[in-house]
Amino acid sequence: MYLILLPILFPILAGVCLLVCRKDLSRKLLTVTTGTCLVITGALAITALTRVKQDFTLFYLTRTLPVYFHIDQISILFSLLTVIVFLCAGFFSFAYMKHEQKEKRYYGYYLMAFGVLNGLCFAGNLITFYLFFELLTLSSFPLVLHTGSKEAIMAGLKYLFYSLCGAYASLFGIYFLCQNCDTLTFTAGGVLQVSAASKDGSFFLFLAFMMILGFGVKAGMFPMHAWLPTAHPAAPAPASATLSAVIVKAGVLALIRVIYYIFGADFIRGTWVQTTWLALALVTVFMGSMLAYREPVLKKRLAYSTVSQLSYILFGLAVMNEEAFTGSLLHVLAHGFIKGTLFLTAGAIIYTTGKTKVDELRGIGKEMPLTMWCYTIVSLGLIGIPPTGGFVSKWYLAIGGLAGDIGIFRYLGPAILLVSALLTAGYLLPLTIRGFFPGTDYDYQTLQKREPCPLMTIPILFMTILSVLIGLFPTVIVDTLTDFVSTLI
């Protein structure tokens, strides 16, 4: 039972110890300690996922507010993603953080964010979820402002206040839900009282909308997406990788929990809330791609891409049928691995060359072939070319969209997804082209191999392979998902 607490508390405590400890640890010792903590946490999380069958109430905040943990398929999915990305990015940072200062502080908050994310995945009711949601913001904003430049600090604050704004908008809904649901425990199909839903239906729809907007801030949904492209480039590359691959997914997880487990899909389906949500998601998809296409700075381009890709997921959630939902979950995984890899490769490039703009990176593929091959493979995945992960998830999303009972969005949705895929190719592939085909006037004499150290390449390679594997064997995941997805819809 207490097994479920270990992957949450251990990294948090380890992180706090690192932060409080005033002695300057040597770099080697720090790396070894953090590495051990990361591996132990990963192992603990996996153990908890496989071993813990029961739910578990830790204690009661007040009589009606239990801190309660429960593991279901959604938790397993998100938790696995968290563990893999955090381990990969963690090992990557051991090499990357050499050129940053105050590593101890970075690893402290990194570990804390890891633990908090585990807590978020395991949370079994809305209050526990909200608790970890707030803590996630508070433990991850120091990662964003880590470099300490003026822009980084402003970006960190922007992230912090946007996220808090979203959290408070959701809290508004939680206050009302608390008194109109029998329980706030996540239950497939929703827990909103029938009497409340029928009597004050329109008000509760408004609340649902507030919560979608509020939690949507974290998932970078228009109109509150502006923090994402500011925060990502400012953070150190491994931090942006976790931010983009996992932390923004907390917003997705939140929306799944709120819409499918608290309000219930039936309550939202066919209302103005669904329509607006679909519209916002599609606007974000298109706008994100468009902005990414125009952006010269590599990491910022990737950040806009995250904005766009996350709204693919949100679109799938908003359609509310089985195929689209499956597609969303697959895209959570696929995008997690792909975008993690992309940010890590961007980090590797910055680390070795110091260049940040796409235009400056001519011939990079000749210098760092392995890294750029990984970049190219996952880029193809994100565009949606089979047999990589992105193809399957987008397939399901498009099928779901076409089959959905969502009016004009039935055609508009898949169409925008396709246009956006085209744009994705347009903003990701130039780097490949420029990197591998620098042109005839490129000076091959001065070329030297600058492949980064294994500590950087292995995590990149590992996540690339994973993203391909998802594309090759999607049935493994889809089969496990089918049964329980049908209970939600």
Partner 1 sequence: MIICIILIPLLAGILVPVLPFRKRSHKEIFLEGAVILNSILVWYLLLHHSESTFLLAHFTGDLNISFRVDGMSMVFAGLVSGLWPFATLYAFEYMTKEEHENTFFLFYTMTYGITLGIALAANLLTMYFFYELLTLVTVPLVMHTLTREAILASRKYLYYSLGGAAFAFIGLIMVIVYGTTTDFILGGVLDPGKIGDKNNILLLIYVMAFMGFGVKAAVCPFNSWLPQAGVAPTPVTALLHAVAVVKSGAFAIIRLTYYSFGTEFLYGTWAQTTVIIVVMFTIVYGCSRALKETHIKRRLAYSTISNLSYILFGAVIMTPLGLTGALTHLVFHAVMKISSFFCAGAIMHQTDKRYVHELNGLGYKMPCVFGIFTVSSLALMGVPGLAGFISKWNLAGAAVNSRNSLAYAGIACLLLSALLTAIYMLSIVVRAFFPGKDFDDGPIQNVHDPNWKMLLPLFVFTVFIIIFGLHSQPIVDFFYDVATGVY
Interaction site with partner 1 (CB under 8 A): 22, 59-63, 65, 101, 127, 130-131, 134-135, 138, 142, 145, 147-150, 153, 156-157, 160-161, 164-165, 168-169, 171-172, 175-176, 178-179
Minimal distance, residue 20 CB to partner 1, in Å: 8
Separation in Å, CA 474 to CA 181, 329, 484 = 37, 11, 16
Which residues are registered as beta bridge partners of 62?
65
Task: Kindly tell me which of 6 and 127 has the beta carbon lying closer to partner 1.
Answer: 127
Minimal distance, residue 146 CB to partner 1, in Å: 8
Among 98, 99, 133, residue whose Cα is nearest residue 113: 133
How far out from the chain centre does Cα 262 lie? 22
Task: Kindly tell me which of 166 and 229 has the beta carbon lying closer to partner 1.
Answer: 166
Minimal distance, residue 178 CB to partner 1, in Å: 7
Which residues are registered as beta bridge partners of 147?
none
Which residue type does 78 have?
F
Task: Kindly tell me which of 67 and 423 has the beta carbon lying closer to partner 1.
Answer: 67
Minimal distance, residue 346 CB to partner 1, in Å: 21
Minimal distance, residue 149 CB to partner 1, in Å: 6
Minimal distance, residue 175 CB to partner 1, in Å: 4
Within 145-236, residue ranges assigned H as helices are: 150-180, 194-199, 201-218, 227-234
Q: Which residue in this structure is represented by tokens 């791609």?
A: 289
How far out from the chain centre does Cα 391 lie? 18
Other Cβ atoms closer than 10 A to 443? 8
Rg (CA), the chain: 22
Task: Kindly tell me which of 65 and 290 has the beta carbon lying closer to partner 1.
Answer: 65
Task: Kindly tell me which of 19 and 279 has the beta carbon lying closer to partner 1.
Answer: 19
Separation in Å, CA 169 to CA 214, 384, 431 = 5, 34, 39
Task: Kindly tell me which of 52 and 131 has the beta carbon lying closer to partner 1.
Answer: 131
Task: Kindly tell me which of 17 and 458 has the beta carbon lying closer to partner 1.
Answer: 17
Minimal distance, residue 131 CB to partner 1, in Å: 4
CA dihedral for 41, 18, 460, 311, sign (positive or negative): positive
